[in-house]
């Protein structure tokens, strides 16, 4: 009889469930683990955002600079030696030049026309760099090349590597042989500090002074 009673008491003790203290301890442990997991996830998310924005900024700044360099290389292209093509304006944040393009017949006519991107301007305006075609004409049209720009600077050099200053005087525009492009782009990265990238490239004006 006593043995049966003892067994029932033990069963009652074993099946009584968790005490209030045990529940509180469990909740505290779960809370700590949850906070730790959230913290790891939050840091990983911020890191991913920053890295993603960094990659986008790097790609954008490189692509924009490549377009700039490619166009600048054609500045002054004049296969017919017409004398109608060259650099028209060279300032710190604005560069305008012309180049001859083949017409519909596949020939160069030596005439500066408002077609085929024969007059191109690049200008830093606000927070973006714009490509302006046919500036100063009735056909003028502008396209954004890259946004989020903090600064863009063109520096001009002669054949001896001398800095021609800015703006380059009209009589010295023909002396330009190379241009250095310095551009800074900045984009927000969520709650982290904005991502900023700087790229400096030099390009030779292959068709000037030939």
- Backbone φ/ψ region at 101: left (φ over 0), alpha (ψ -120 to 50), beta: beta
Distance CA 172, CA 163 (A): 11
191: DSSP letter? T
Q: What is the C-alpha R_g of the chain? A: 33
Judge whether 188 lies within some domain.
Answer: yes
When pLDDT is averaged across residues 175-194 and rounded to a whole number, the result is 87
Which range among 3-7, 179-183, 190-194, 196-200 has the greatest average pLDDT?
179-183
Q: Reply yes or no on whether the pLDDT at 24 is more than 90.
A: no
Residue 136 forms part of a structural domain: yes
pLDDT tens digit sequence for 82-135: 999 999 999 999 999 999 987 766 778 888 888 888 999 999 999 999 999 999
DSSP 208: T
pLDDT digits (tens, 9 = 90+) for 26-59: 777 777 777 766 666 556 555 556 677 678 888 8
108 located within any domain: yes
pTM of the model: 0.75
- Indicate whether 36 belongs to any domain: no
pLDDT at 105: 67
Residue 179: phi and psi, rounded to 5, are -135, 135
What is 84-97 written as a DSSP string? --SEEEE-SSEEEE
Domain that holds residue 101: 53-204
Is residue 15 a part of any domain in this protein? Answer: no
21: in domain: no
Domain count, the chain: 1
Quote the pLDDT of residue 41: 59
Q: Tell me what the pLDDT averaged over the chain comes to.
A: 84
Confidence at residue 16, expressed as pLDDT on a 0 to 100 scale: 56
Residue percentage of the chain with pLDDT more than 70: 80
pLDDT at 148: 92
For residue 91, what are its two tokens?
């300032």
Residue 92 to residues 122, 125, 167, 189, 204, Cα–Cα distance (Å): 11, 12, 6, 29, 17
Q: Flag whether 42 is in a domain.
A: no
pLDDT at 4: 45
Does residue 31 lie within any of the structural domains?
Answer: no
């Amino acid at each position: 009889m006593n043995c049966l009673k003892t067994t029932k008491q033990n069963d009652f003790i074993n099946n009584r469930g968790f005490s209030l203290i045990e529940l509180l301890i469990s909740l505290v442990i779960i809370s700590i683990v949850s906070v730790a997991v959230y913290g790891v996830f939050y840091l990983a998310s911020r890191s991913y955002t920053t890295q993603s924005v960094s990659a986008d900024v790097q790609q954008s700044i490189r692509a924009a600079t490549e377009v700039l360099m490619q166009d600048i290389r054609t500045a002054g292209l004049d296969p017919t030696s017409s004398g109608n093509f060259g650099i028209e304006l060279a300032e710190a944040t604005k560069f305008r030049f012309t180049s001859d393009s083949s017409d519909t017949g596949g020939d160069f006519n030596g005439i500066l026309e408002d077609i085929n991107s024969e007059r191109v301007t690049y200008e830093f305006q606000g927070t973006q760099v714009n490509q302006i075609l046919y500036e100063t004409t009735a056909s003028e049209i502008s396209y954004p090349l890259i946004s989020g720009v903090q600064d863009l600077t063109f520096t001009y050099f002669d054949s001896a590597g001398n800095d021609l200053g800015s703006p380059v005087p009209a009589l010295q525009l023909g002396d330009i042989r190379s241009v250095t492009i310095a551009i800074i782009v900045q984009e927000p990265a969520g709650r982290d500090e904005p991502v900023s990238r700087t790229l400096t490239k030099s390009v030779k004006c292959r068709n000037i002074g030939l």
